[in-house]
Amino acid sequence: MDKYRLIFNEEVNKYIQLYAHIKHLIEINQIEDEEKLPSIRELADFLHLNKVTVINAYKKLQMEGYANQKIGSGTYAKKKDAIRGFKKSYSATFKRLNSGKLNDMIDFTGETTSADFFPVADLKAVLNDVLDRDGAEALIYQDALGYERLRERINEKFWGNSLDYDDILIVSGAQQGIDIVSKALINVNDNIIVEKPTYSGALSVFKSRKANIFEVPIENDGVDLDALKAILKKNKIKCFYFMSYFQNPSTVSYSDYKKQELLKLAEEHDFFIIEDDYLSELIYDSDIKYSSMKSFDRYDRVVYIKSFSKIFLPGIRIGYLICPKEYKDSVQNSKVNTDISTSSLMQRALEMYMERDYWIEHIKLLNIKYKERYEFMKKEIEVKLSGKIDFSPPGGGLHFYLRLSEKISLTTIELFYKLRERGVLITPGVMFYKHSNQGERYFKVGFSQTDCDKIEKGIDIIADILIEAER
């Protein structure tokens, strides 16, 4: 009963305080799933409360999905909904962070490059030159497929003019690209496969399409092919979604062997592959060589999605996709139905930015700066979290994916709340799985928004909490 002890603030309704306290205990696993809560009389006596106060607190817990009343038995905690409640809490924290209200926090959740490295001078010069060259035309709606010269420039700079530029579709970032492709390819009850774990934004899109989602575990060079083949043997699959480099969150990069095997399976079993080319510009380990799955795609099975927002110009929502000719029209129609056009001015600016090769120098700078942070954080983790976590250094990207050792009594949801109280934000693994009860031993720490001083301080705080949990 001692965990229910609570010091009340006389200025706040007591049933609200009791509700919030029990909710927090459920979220941090101090109250387990299906654990019976104290009876109304018992809790009222323990806290010296009116029974109506406890009744109202229990009713609110039930309304919010944190408890379930069983007639004649009592009230029981609902842990599954507690994880859903955590996700709402995480989302609210993230929104406050993005609005600038948590600037004093050490942010290990960031997924885009830091504004500190934003090429303001180059972009300002390009924008001025675009407006001088094109005038008001730069501000009008563009072709729904995207600014023609930008599509030509992408074909030239990234694909060696090996494509028909009409096969390139400009989109407002990778997330919109996934959404557009899903609307074009996936219908209700279609079967799709994702990595386990996988990017939460993609999971949300596939769930919104009411698809049947199969998960395949990731090995150190890509998905488990045997597990994938077992699913393909029993089910008709529409598509497979994956990240080819520094996968979010696992940090795994695919071997060329597995890329080629996946393409063979796609042709053999008649499904399509959605390749989310995530952070492949940031390679720090010389043993890792870049080759997209799309570059091996002799069967025309790959939908390739690339965002410029993550790397070149954070905050400017521009990306592109290339899709198989079979779905070209439906994907383009899906884009038109989603929005009229991606920003004309920004497309023209990006085209000039590429034409002048500013992007090459910018990527070189990012690789230098982020390799420094990567090596520093890697060493901090290896030294200060040794024996408390397990991880595999990814050799690139912007984050590490850590697993708590078995001797640590916390879940990463509990760790999240404890760290937040001390000014540090992480991303627990539950955000990356189809089922909410998975991933509680994993968490992601990124270094895109933190310099080395903040990395050192943040890892020190994590180490303090894990040492206490180990005791």
Cα torsion for 169, 141, 206, 428, to the nearest 10°? 100
Residue 285, CA distances (Å) to 280, 392, 447, 468 in order: 12, 13, 17, 34
Cβ neighbors of 257 (< 8 A, separation 6 or more) are 221
pLDDT for 444 beyond 90: yes
Across the range 189-209, mean pLDDT stands at: 95
The pLDDT value given to residue 101: 64
57 membership: H or E segment, kind and range: helix 51-63
Decide if 185 contacts 272 (C-beta within 8 A). yes
pLDDT for 245 beyond 80: yes
- Winning range, highest mean pLDDT, from 10-19, 23-32, 373-382, 414-423: 373-382
pTM: 0.83
Which is more confidently placed, 91 or 420? 420
- Residue 252: phi and psi, rounded to 5, are -70, 140
Tell me the pLDDT band of 436, cut-offs 50, 70 and 90. Answer: low
The pLDDT value given to residue 409: 82
CA-CA distance, 140 to 138, in Å (whole number)? Answer: 6
Across the range 406-428, mean pLDDT stands at: 90
Mean pLDDT of the chain: 90
Say how many CA atoms lie within 13 Å of 331 toward its Cβ: 27
Q: Where are the beta strands (DSSP E) in 95-207?
A: 106-107, 168-171, 191-196
DSSP states along 273-336: EEEE--STT-B--TT-----SGGG-TTS-EEEEEESTTTTSTTS--EEEE--GGGHHHHHHHHH
Decide if 240 contacts 225 (C-beta within 8 A). no
Summarised one tens digit per residue, pLDDT across range 266-324 is 999 999 999 999 899 999 999 999 999 999 999 999 999 999 887 766 667 899 999 99
Domain ranges in the chain are 2-76, 84-117+361-470, 120-356
The pLDDT value given to residue 340: 63
Summarised one tens digit per residue, pLDDT across range 121-174 is 888 999 999 999 999 888 876 677 899 999 999 999 999 999 988 899 999 889
Q: 202-207 contacts: CB < 8 A, separation 24 or more?
A: 202/178, 202/241, 202/276, 203/432, 203/434, 205/175, 205/178, 205/179, 206/182, 206/241
CA-CA distance, 430 to 86, in Å (whole number)? Answer: 9
Across the range 236-259, mean pLDDT stands at: 97
Tell me the pLDDT band of 205, cut-offs 50, 70 and 90. Answer: very high
Handedness of CA 44, 47, 49, 54 (dihedral sign): negative
DSSP label at residue 395? S
The pLDDT value given to residue 302: 97
* Low-confidence winner among 109-113, 252-256, 314-318, 421-425 (lowest mean pLDDT): 314-318
How would CATH label the architecture of 2-76? Orthogonal Bundle (1.10)
Cβ neighbors of 390 (< 8 A, separation 6 or more) are 402, 403, 405
The pLDDT value given to residue 148: 93
Which is more confidently placed, 83 or 320? 320
User: Cα–Cα–Cα angle for 326, 327, 331, nearest 5°?
Assistant: 160
DSSP states along 60-123: HHHHTTSEEEETTTEEEE-HHHHHHHHHHHHHHHHHHHHTTTTTTSEE----S--GGG--HHHH
The pLDDT value given to residue 341: 66
Summarised one tens digit per residue, pLDDT across range 333-386 is 888 887 766 788 889 999 999 999 998 999 999 999 999 999 999 999 999 999
The percentage of the chain sitting over the pLDDT mark of 90, rounded to a whole number, equals 66
Across the range 252-272, mean pLDDT stands at: 97
- Residue 361: phi and psi, rounded to 5, are -65, -35
CATH class of domain segment(s) 120-356: alpha beta
Summarised one tens digit per residue, pLDDT across range 217-241 is 999 999 999 999 999 999 999 999 9
The percentage of the chain sitting over the pLDDT mark of 70, rounded to a whole number, equals 96
Tell me the pLDDT band of 71, cut-offs 50, 70 and 90. Answer: confident
Read off the tokens for 429.
């693994």
Which is more confidently placed, 203 or 118? 203
CATH level 3 topology of 84-117+361-470: Aspartate Aminotransferase, domain 1 (3.90.1150)
